[in-house]
Amino acid sequence: MKEYFGTTTTLDNLKVKQFSFHHDGGHGWLQVPEQSLKDLGIEHYVSDCSYLKDKQVYLEEDMDASLFIAAWKAEKGSQPDWFDFFEDGQSRIRSFDRYPAKADRSWKQVMHKIGELNKGI
């Protein structure tokens, strides 16, 4: 199976212009470079429901991807661009290492952070 990654190009301090959104029958993950989380200042808010492989973070679609999208919009003024990649059966992403969450953030705390980020738009 061929693995698809975001297209690399210079975009201010964030280097990826287009991201990949991976889906299988049960869940989805937005693939972003680990450095992008640091550049946006949100690495401490990402949960261990996301995955990490080769400095790429696969943000779970419900909370972590929403956080990234809100932070990107607050920084760039527009929603990030991505393409969908559908996988038959169970995604290989589920076998990757869990993201080493830096803090224990509750759903309520992350939603509050997303609300703060959205106010700046």
Tell whether 1 is covered by a domain: no
By CB atoms closer than 10 A (0-12, 13-18, 19+), residue 111 is middle
The arithmetic mean of pLDDT across residues 73-90, rounded, is: 91
Tell whether 3 is covered by a domain: no
What's the number of domains the chain is made of?
1
Closest CA to 101 of 47, 65, 55: 47
The pLDDT of residue 110 is: 77
Tell whether 18 is covered by a domain: yes
In terms of residue numbers, what domain contains 22?
8-119
pLDDT-derived band at 121 (thresholds 50, 70, 90) equals low
The arithmetic mean of pLDDT across residues 99-117, rounded, is: 77
Tell whether 67 is covered by a domain: yes
pTM above 0.85, yes or no: no
Tell whether 28 is covered by a domain: yes
pLDDT at 73 over 70: yes
